[in-house]
Every structure is written in C-alpha cells, then in structure tokens.
Amino acid sequence: MIDLENALKFPTTDKEWKRKILIGGVLNIAPIIINFFPIGYAYRIFQKALKRQKIALVEWDNWADLFIQGLIVFLIGLLYNIASLILFAIHPILGILAFIAAALLFPMALAQYAMSGNFSQAFQLRDIWGRIRKAGSDYFVAWLVMAGIFLILWMIIAAIPILGWVISAILGFYTCLVFAVLFGEICSRQQPPPEDSRKGSTKRSRSTPRRRSES
C-alpha cells in the first residue's frame, strides 16, 4: 500500500528544507538547460528510495553530476514522447493517448535505468510493463495522484500569468521530490534486494550448521 502522506510530507522533514527547495524552485524557473539541475537533484532522491536507502534532502553539491543525470532523465522522457508528438501530428487523440502511455511507463523506465546504469534498459518495454503489472494498483494509484497534481500546477500557470509560472516552478520542484520518493519506493518492490541484504542473508545461511542425517 502506498504511503502518500509520508511522500507528501517528505520534503519538509529536512531542517533546511526551505532553502533547498527554494534553490530548486529558482533553478526550475530558468531556461531548460538550467532545469537539468533540479531534475538531477530529484533523481538523486529517486535513486535512494529505489535502493531502499535512508532518504533525505541531499545537499546541493556535485553540480556536474546533477547536470548530467538531469540531462539523461530529460532524454529518457523526450524519447518516450517522440512517438506521441508524431502521432499528434497525424491525429490529436492518438497523440494524447500515446502521451498518457509514455507517462505511465516513465517511472518504471527510470527505475530500470537507475538500477542498471544502462541507458537502453529504460526502453525495454516488455520488461517495464511486466514490472508495472507486478507492482499492481499502488503504481496506478500513485500515477493518477501525481498526474492530478501536475495538472493543477498547469492550471495555476494558465490562471495567473507570470506569477503563476513562478509559483508553479517552486511547487513543481516540490512535487518532483514527492514523485521521487513515491515511485522510488513503489518501484523498489520490483527490484532485487540491496547488495548488503544479499550478503547478510548469505552469511547467515553459511553460518547455519547443517544437521547430519542419522543413519
């Protein structure tokens, strides 16, 4: 079962959460190349949740890595939406349906890339869809919740010119952090246990003496 309340509150659990989120929000307002930094930051949180590590708002450092990871996440999303852009040119309804399908696959595709470090793994559609089906209703409920939140943000932008964009940039970054925690935890259930856990279980199995069968 998804812990939506915990995910929504997560960004505020850090003592310096206002400063860290403000930095992300300001960078989110900037042109698309600068956007790679907040995307990369949210991806770090996603990785920690996916690997079942202790999650917390990380410090804004290692900017080169933030940029590169943000760029990679952006490219994965872009490639998933190329088909929807082409289909939209043919017929808007086809494009919209393709966009929804791409958005549905994206979180698990990102998990595939994060766990393997292999860019091509983000496009193994059969494997990705199989993992989504195993994740069950939690995945779909989380996706609907996040889609609703992002839709509200776009409505704010449309309703309040200029100021709405600034507000949505800050709230959008906050929402990306919620997305990272929520889907990181859900997708982690479809991944192998962490290396430390496997080593621990191996040691326990080796230390357990075997009983000799009595003849």
* Within a domain: 148: yes
Q: How many C-beta atoms surround the C-beta of residue 34 within 10 A?
A: 14
% residues pLDDT > 90 (the chain): 64
Q: What is the pTM of this model?
A: 0.83
* Within a domain: 121: yes
Total count of domains within the chain: 1
* Within a domain: 105: yes
Measured CA to CA, the distance from residue 38 to residue 30 in angstroms comes to: 10
* Within a domain: 203: no
* Within a domain: 207: no
Does the pLDDT of residue 190 top 80, yes or no?
no
What does the pLDDT average to over 38-62?
93
* Within a domain: 43: yes
Residue from 39, 44, 47 nearest 70 by CA? 39
Confidence of residue 158 (pLDDT cuts 50, 70, 90): low
Does the pLDDT of residue 211 top 80, yes or no?
no
Confidence of residue 3 (pLDDT cuts 50, 70, 90): confident
* Within a domain: 209: no
- Write the CA distances from 31 to 44, 76, 126, 137, 162, integer angstroms: 21, 19, 35, 36, 14
Domain membership of residue 140 as a residue range:
4-196
* Within a domain: 89: yes
Confidence of residue 118 (pLDDT cuts 50, 70, 90): very high
